[in-house]
Structure 1
Amino acid sequence: MPTHVNTLRPHDDAPNTEAAFVRLADTPSGPERDALRQELIRAWLPMSERLASRFKNRGETFEDLCQVAALGLVKAVDRYDPQRGSAFVSFAVPTITGEVKRHFRDHMWTLHVPRRVQDQRNRVRTAQRELLQTISGRTPTEGEIARRAGLTVAETKSGMEALGCYSTLSLDAQPSGGDHGVALAEVIGAPDHALDVVIDREAVRPRLRKLPERERRILYMRFFRDMTQSSIAKDLGISQMHVSRLISNLCDRLRREIIQDAV
């Protein structure tokens, strides 16, 4: 089958396809139209790959980026109307880049971030990069970034917070500057259940000090050393039943004293 698409140069990613698009628009559905459509897509693939290369090093493989860009190219070829007078490249570039950006927005963000905040993030990142080339010896302030990005300070702060939402670290990863072999999960704080009993501990502390040595020792062995009643009985040379009664009576007495003081 003869080639319907004429290019300016074999490696030019903006081929001369005006006539081919006119023929495509005038050709009815069928094998001939499908073949011409495929040739147009192949002719513009180098340009779509060039556009995809702009998004490298953002967490997606270049091969996947090229596939997404190619999908945008297919949409551009199918939607382009040569009768409107604009060149195909001016229609295809925003269509392809929009498809790649949509891919990042819908599939690459680890945390869900509103589209408005994503835009603020991109503008903040661009402003930071430009300011770092003109300011030496320090990092740009939020006010400087806001003026450069055309945002308010509040919007700039929102965009800066979103800079860390694009990807997350595994809990098995090692924290920056941490000891070798220490996972992130091992240094993340957790709820301290001992905080729930701080008030109770402080309320009972002075009353424990007033107890006789023997009674204080029994409570210490039971509740601080976690000894069984039988072990305590053996240590003191008394019966386990006696230890049980002593602990029960001591706890009841301390509880009554604390309640009375609270009233």
Structure 2
Amino acid sequence: MGRRISKKRSIPRDSFYADKSDKELFVMYSENRDIDIRNELINRNIYIVEILSKKFLNKGIEYEDIYQVASLGLIYAIERFDVTKGFEFSSFATPTIIGEIKKYFRDKGWSIRVPRRIQELSKKVNTASVHLQQQLHRVPKVEDIAEYLGCTQEEVLEAIDASYVYKPKSLDLSYDNDGDDKDIQLMDLVGSEDKSFKAIENKDFLERAMSKLNEVELKIIKDRFFGNKTQMAIANELGVSQMTVSRIEKKVLSKLKKEYEKIIY
């Protein structure tokens, strides 16, 4: 969460600003953006953070984290507030703070990071499913939901798949094994990566990348990383300086790195 704002010890109040009204402070802050004025405004309005943070207790995220997010929301509200519009600051700050808290829940509540677009669509799919089930008197099909939301069936399926990662499942979760006395645990159904596939991919990449090197570059790389030779030993064999070998080695490694990044991204 970065730098935390303490609930127990507020920012010291400057006596120069203590007798000023909130409106006067906001006018002054809009003119000079003095950090001491902002601190005074935070002190006076931190109660809003405490009240709103408590509304989100026992929802799966620690209160301390919620409080910090709400405090940042308060700062955003102070920065954006325009006293000339005639609104009460508390009325302006409340939706700003709640918005920051909900955004945090939306991002942190998923066990695996899912694109915001999919998160939003997943909520719409769930709402549409309930509505359509009541309307159609049956479980809605994917095409029903897609037509109702005005999106493709592929998008609906993607959102449904994503909803399964909102909360993680325990690997000790057991399933009935259809007549067998022994239940199957989720850990028995989870596949693992075959390391040989990775080795094949790496070998294929190296062969293709090495084929693009000239004779000197190829010798340096092979001797350095497969023959365990020092740069000095290779330099003596080639009749060049160690610095030349070092420069060529760095150039080749940089070239290989760029080629590998093309595959990953």
- TM normalised by structure 2 equals 0.48
- Mark the structure with the bigger radius of gyration: 1
